[in-house]
Structure 1
Amino acid sequence: MKRKIPVIISILTLVSFLGFSQIPDTVINVHLVRVGMSFSAPAGDMAARYGVNGGVGGSYYYKTSGNFQIGVDYEYLFGGNVKQAEEIFDNITASNGNIIDATGGMAIMDTYERGFSLMLSAGKVFPGLGKNPNSGILVSAGAGYLSHHLTTEVYMNLAPQIFGDYAKGYDRLTGGPVYSIFAGYQNIDPQNIFNYYIGLDFKHAMTKPLRNYQFDLKGPEPDNLRHDLFIGIKLGWMLPLYRRSTDQYYYY
C-alpha cells in the first residue's frame, strides 16, 4: 500500500503537466479527485489499545462556484503499536511470552492495527491568501462509519491458535459512527501543477465491540460505548476536472 502512494501521486502530477488548459481566474464549479494520507495520535479509549497510526485513502469532492464543496472520503487505517497484545494473547503464550507453533518451536508473531473509515463530508473554501479565488482556507466536517481491529502475522502461518477464523477470537473488532472536523489549506494551482490540501484533522468515533466471543475473555467484550479519538495531520494531492461550454471535461 505504501509503495503505491508515490506512484499515484506521480501519475496525477503528470496528468497536471499534460493538462489541456489553465484554470480560469474566476470561481468555478470543479470536480476534485483526491488521494491522500494522514498521521494521527490516538486519544480517549483508542490510546489505551493502539499507538500512533497512519492512513491512506481517496476521495471525491464537488466544489461549487460559491466555494462550497461536498464529497465522500474513504481511508484505510494502519498502525504497528498494539499496546494490549501481551494481555490479549496471554492465555496462549509460554512463560517467555512467545506462542508455541505447530513444530514445537517459538512462533514469530507480529501484531498490527488495521481499520477503515467511510464518510460524507461538506465544507467551504475561504479565499484571500492568493490571487486564485478557488484556493484558500478549507474548513469541513464529515460523518460516517469507522471500524478498527487487531491483526496478526505469523511466520509461515505456523501458529494454528491464531490462524484463519481463530484469529477473529482475538481481533477486538470494533466499529460505529464517526464524525470529523478538518481545518487547513486547499490549493488549486492556476498553472495546473501544485493541486493539494493540507491541514489538521480530528475524528471522534463512538464505537462498540462487534465480536460475540473473544477467547482470552471467555466471552464477548463488555458492551460499553467507546470514544475513539484521532488527532493529526491530513494531506494529499488533487486532480481537478471542470466542464467548459463545449460540454467536455478538462484535466489539469
Structure 2
Amino acid sequence: MKKYILLIITNILFFSLHSQTSIRDQDYVDTATTMVWTHANFSYQIPFGDGYLARTFGNNFNVGTGIIVKPRSNWTIEGYFNYMFGSDVILPDTLVLGSMINHNGDLFDENGLKATIYLEGRYWSFGVGIGKIIPINKWKNSGIWIKGGVGYLGHKIFITDPDNSVPQLDRETYRKGYDQRSSGVMLSQFIGYVYMHKKRVKSFYIGIELNEIWSKADRNYSFMLGNTQNLPFQFSGLVGVKAGWIIPLYEKQRVVKFYTN
C-alpha cells in the first residue's frame, strides 16, 4: 500500500510540473492572489480498519463539491460535501437480512418466488478544512497542496427491492431496521498538487486523501444488532486517489508579469 501511494504521488508531481513547461518557457509569472472557487471532485476509495464501515463495505466511488477561499498567503479554507456510492456489501447476506435468507442462501417473496434484492453501500459526508498551497516555481497560485479537515460521515446499507415483493423490506416500515445506518466524526488529510492555469477554468488538482472515521449505529434499534444505544464508536478508514476540476468564482485583480531578455 505504501509503495502504491508513493508511486502515485511521484507521478502526480511529474505530471504537474510537465503540464506547466510550455507556458513557463514563455517566462510567464502568476503572482499569488486572493481567490474563491468551487470544485467538482471524484475519488476512488479503499476502506481499512476494524470498524462498522470497514467490515461492511468494499471499495467505493466518491463525488463531491465545496467552496474554497484562498488569500494571497496561499492558505486555503473550505467547506465541502461528498456522496459515496458503488460500494459492495461484503457482509454475508445473513448478517444483513437475517432469517429472511434460508439455508440455501435464497430469499423468497410474498408469492413464494425467489426474490432479487440488491445491497449497496452509501456514504455521505460534510465538513470544513484548512490547508496550504506551497509553490515550487513562478506559478505562485499553484503548488503542493497539503490540507486537513474535520467533519461528519454517515453510512448505510442501501437496500433495493425492484419488484417491491418482499413485505419485510417495505420502504415505509421495516427497511430502515435492516440498513444498519451509522455515523460519526471524520478527520481527513490530503496531499497533492493544485494547478492554476492562466485561464482559470482549466485548473485542477489531484492527490491522495486519507479519512479516519469513528462511527456507531445511529438508529435506536436494528433487527440484526438489537438495541444499539450502548454500542461503542468503532474506527474505520478510507484511503484513495482524488482529483477535482476547479471552477473560479472570484479573483482579486492579479498582477501578471512577463520577463523578457
Q: TM-score, normalised by structure 1?
A: 0.83
Could you tell me whether the CA contact under 8 Å between 1:78 and 1:114 is conserved in 2? yes
46-55 or 63-72, larger mean C-alpha shift: 46-55
2:43–2:243 contact (8 Å) kept in structure 1: yes
- For residues 37-70 of structure 1, what are the alpha-carbon distances to aligned partners after superposition, in whole Å with 9 as ceiling and x for unaligned? 1111101123221111111011110011010110
Does 2:204 match 1:199?
no
Deviation at 1:94, TM superposition (A): 2.3
Q: Counterpart of 1:179?
A: 187
* Aligned-pair CA distance for 1:242: 2.9
* Paired position in structure 2 for 1:68: 75
- Choose the corresponding residue for 2:43, options 38, 44, 48: 38
**Structure 2: segments with no counterpart, 5+ residues:** 1-27, 254-261
Aligned residues: 222
Residue 240 of structure 1 and its aligned partner are, at CA, apart by 1.6
Give the 3 Å change call, closer, same or farther, for CA 217–143 of structure 1 in structure 2. closer
Alpha-carbon distance in 2 for matches of 1:242, 1:51: 39
Deviations 1:74-107 (A, max 9, x none): 0001133111141221311123212211222111
Q: 1:51 to 1:243 in 2, by over 3 A?
A: closer
Q: Distance in 1 between matches of 2:68 and 2:251?
A: 15
The aligned counterpart of 2:221 is 213
Contact 1:85 1:111 in 2 (8 A): no
* Structure 1 unaligned residues grouped into runs of 5+: 1-22, 246-252
State the partner residue of 2:176: 168
In structure 2, how many angstroms separate the alpha carbons of the residues matched to 1:52 and 1:100? Answer: 29
1:116 alignment partner, SS class: strand
Q: What is residue 16 of structure 2 aligned with on the other side?
A: none
Q: Secondary structure at the residue paired with 1:89?
A: helix
Cα gap change, 1:173 to 1:47, in 2 (>3 Å):
same
Give yes or no for the alignment of 1:141 onto 2:148.
yes
1:217 & 1:205 partners in 2: Cα distance?
Answer: 20
Helix, strand or coil at the partner of 1:184: strand
1:224 positional shift: 1.5
Deviation larger for 148-157 or 208-217:
208-217
1:230-249 deviation digits (Å, cap 9, x = unpaired): 0111111011233456xxxx
C-alpha root-mean-square deviation of aligned residues, in Å? 1.8
SS at match of 1:80: strand
Counterpart contact for 2:58–2:90, Cα < 8 Å: yes
SS at match of 1:88: helix
Residue by residue over 1:190-214, the C-alpha shift from the partner in whole angstroms, topping out at 9 and shown as x without a partner, is 1335310110000011111112111
Aligned 8 A contact 1:195 1:238 in 2: yes
The answer to whether structure 1 residue 230 and structure 2 residue 241 are counterparts is: no
Q: Which stretch of structure 1 is more off in the superposition, 64-73 or 214-223?
A: 214-223
Cα drift, residue 216 of structure 1: 2.8
TM-score by length of 2: 0.80
4+ residue stretches of structure 1 with deviation over 2 A? Answer: 191-194, 216-222, 241-245
State the partner residue of 1:28.
33
Write the distance in 1 (CA, Å) between the matches of 2:119 and 2:195. 38
CA distance in 2, matches of 1:202, 1:222: 28
- Secondary structure of 1:104's counterpart equals coil
Identical positions, percent:
30
Cα offset for 1:137?
0.3
* 2:14 match: none
